Amino acid sequence: MSETFHVGLIGLGVMGQRMLARLAAHARLRATWVWDADPAALARTLSAYPQLQPAASAEAVIAAPGLHTLYIATPPAPHMALSNRAFDAGLAVFCEKPLTVDFDAARRTIARIDAGGLRAAVNFSLASSPGLAALQAAAQGGIGQLQAVQIELAFTRWPRPWQAAAGAWLAERAEGGFSREVLSHFIFVLQRVLGTAQVLASQPDYPADGRSAERALEATLQAGGVPVQVQAAVAGVVDDFNRFTLQGSTGAVELRDWFGLQQRHGDGPWLPQGDAAAMRQRGQADQLDQWVALIEGRPHSLPGFAEALAVQQTIEALLAGQPATAR
């Protein structure tokens, strides 16, 4: 019979709760020990999942007997320190994106992972999506010569309604904002399909208070020789609009609303590929199966820390801004 792997969770906010619900439906991953710096978050979690064991600290989760893997769903600042403590304890680490905004700490951690053959991955949810697979096939000749990528995002409000309970960090410039939170998923897809992107021009629009996160971002990049346009803003009437379009000489592929996928040949009509809700479910279930592969030391499709750092470097370059004249 296949072994069941025990998961410790640190960070029990919006994403921690979502992961607990997903884990409850997985045959081989079992949430066991949990901790959050906020005692109220821990208490709420224990009343929803009384079978979980509350730990007294992050260190206590990591040292819990019988644990195989640690899931980190705190805001970005503690990601590297918690990952390193988990590596000390011999655990496989599944960390939320964004990896970190501390690049030096990330580089040291990646060097340690490489030197020790440690097991570490980052939760970019599109990593296991049928949409990503379709884009990879398209980029390998399925839509002819690649011509352009367009990434469009719009949010009526930031943070989005489903994140209303998240901490203040999400709306702040230091760690939050839609570029790190949402655009990073599509930069991950872009770089997985076409290689590391170069920022040619970027105009982020920040509120005057010096503290709040960006309200809009327009940018031009290049990846694998293909021009990439980004248009993103807190605007419009849709809570969470996103579209990633890869245009080729003989057709195009489009991801929309995260897991939705459509394709067209030439100038023909857009043809939906599969049911978006079913593909979301499949992608999320496969993401957990890939986590099992990570724990078992088998090949998997999850991004490692180095790939996640490369995404974050592109995101931070976009957020730093670059005038078009610098091209």
- Interface positions with ligand NAD (CB under 6 A): 10-16, 36-38, 41, 58, 73-76, 78, 96-98, 123, 125, 163, 165-167, 181
The whole-angstrom separation of Cα 75 and Cα 186 is 20
Task: For ligand NAD, give the closer residue by CB, 76 or 304.
Answer: 76
Residue 82 C-beta: closest distance to ligand NAD, Å:
7
Task: State CA 206 to chain mean position distance.
Answer: 23
Beta bridge partners of 251: 265
Task: For ligand NAD, give the closer residue by CB, 139 or 259.
Answer: 259
Residues 6+ apart with CB under 8 A from 293: 299, 300
Task: For ligand NAD, give the closer residue by CB, 111 or 165.
Answer: 165
Contact 124, 202 (CB under 8 A): no
Task: For ligand NAD, give the closer residue by CB, 148 or 165.
Answer: 165
Residue 16 C-beta: closest distance to ligand NAD, Å:
6
Residue 264 C-beta: closest distance to ligand NAD, Å:
28
Q: Report the residue count for the chain.
A: 327
Number of CB atoms found within 10 A of residue 146's CB: 21
Task: For ligand NAD, give the closer residue by CB, 8 or 248.
Answer: 8
The whole-angstrom separation of Cα 228 and Cα 147 is 9
The whole-angstrom separation of Cα 231 and Cα 218 is 5
The whole-angstrom separation of Cα 1 and Cα 48 is 29
Task: For ligand NAD, give the closer residue by CB, 36 or 254.
Answer: 36
Task: For ligand NAD, give the closer residue by CB, 284 or 322.
Answer: 284
State the DSSP string of 237-284.
S-TTEEEEEEEESSEEEEEETTTEEEEEETT---EE-S-HHHHHHHHH
Contact 14, 163 (CB under 8 A): yes
Residue 90 C-beta: closest distance to ligand NAD, Å:
20
Residue 301 C-beta: closest distance to ligand NAD, Å:
15
Residue at shortest CB range from ligand NAD = 13
- Tell me which H or E stretch contains 114: helix 103-116
Residue 99 C-beta: closest distance to ligand NAD, Å:
9
Residue 96 C-beta: closest distance to ligand NAD, Å:
3
Task: For ligand NAD, give the closer residue by CB, 188 or 263.
Answer: 188
Contact 275, 182 (CB under 8 A): no
Residue 2 C-beta: closest distance to ligand NAD, Å:
26
Burial class (CB in 10 A: 0-12, 13-18, 19+), 140: exposed
